[in-house]
Structure 1
């Protein structure tokens, strides 16, 4: 197996012809160790000599952090809505138990809290995520 720092990938000479000009031979054992180590959240990157090594991924950019926070909020809103819908149905049809009425109010408050999370100053560095109802 060969590794190309420029291409940031592995190449098998039986399949890839020609190999990248910067390709460095990597033993099967080293290649397997890199692939197994990669499954722990590490990434394969070239060292100063172009040899593949496992490194921690770079921290997310501020924009990526914002995208991840908004995605989390949207997912939590979807989950909250899935709890609200059947409870609201029971209330609408007059078939809700007192416990279901209370649960509906709690899930709606939670959903409101999620929607009211500030998305301006400090977002998303200092998010205090609301706690979902039990």
Structure 2
């Protein structure tokens, strides 16, 4: 059975059976740590369940929990909510321009415009602790 190596620098695994192709391509790393087949299977299995593989202080692959960029998640949520509000605002504005808007829709339009303004002014640097409108 061929060996499996891990490179901390590239955070990648390198099966010995493909060493010749890596060498020919100039991509076979110099510093490698051998990993048992059992450990490799364990790491791959855990990765498929949401863990990430990172090198420890000695360059050996270990599991870690992924870090969440809460600001990026908040930006995505804000942008999505603003897009939905804007689409509805556009439809209601068209109805208003055509003189075909109900009193309930006038109230909805005002509420959506207020919500969109509050979304635009949100301080997303406090994520995940955001008071969403």
TM-score, normalization by structure 1: 0.70
2:53 corresponds in structure 1 to: 44
> In the alignment, which of 25, 30, 34 is matched to residue 21 of structure 1?
30
Alpha-carbon spacing, 1:75–1:29, altered in 2? closer, same or farther (3 Å): same
Aligned to 2:110: 105
Unaligned runs of 5+ in 2: none
| Alignment of structure 1 residues 85-96 onto 2, 5 Å | 85-96=90-101
Distance 1:39 1:15, change over 3 A: same
Q: 1:99 to 1:7 in 2, by over 3 A?
A: same
Alpha-carbon distance between aligned partners in 2 of 1:29 and 1:100, rounded to the nearest angstrom: 63
Partner of 1:55: 64
Per-residue CA shift, 1:23-70, capped at 9, x if unaligned? Answer: 22334443233223223432211224322111123565xxx83x5544
**What stretches of structure 1 move > 3 A for 4+ residues in a row?**
16-19, 57-60, 67-72
Bigger RCO (CA 8 Å, 6+ sep):
2
Q: Please list every run of 5 or more consecutive structure 1 residues that lacks an aligned counterpart in the other structure.
A: none
Higher helix share: 2
Return the alpha-carbon distance in structure 1 between the equivalents of residues 65 and 30 of structure 2. Answer: 27
The root-mean-square deviation of aligned C-alpha atoms, in Å, is: 2.6
CA distance in 2 between partners of 1:35 and 1:83 (Å): 45
Q: Report the counterpart of residue 115 of structure 1 in structure 2.
A: 120
Q: State the number of aligned residues.
A: 122
Give the corresponding residue for 2:125: 124
Task: Tell me the TM-score normalised to structure 2 length.
Answer: 0.71
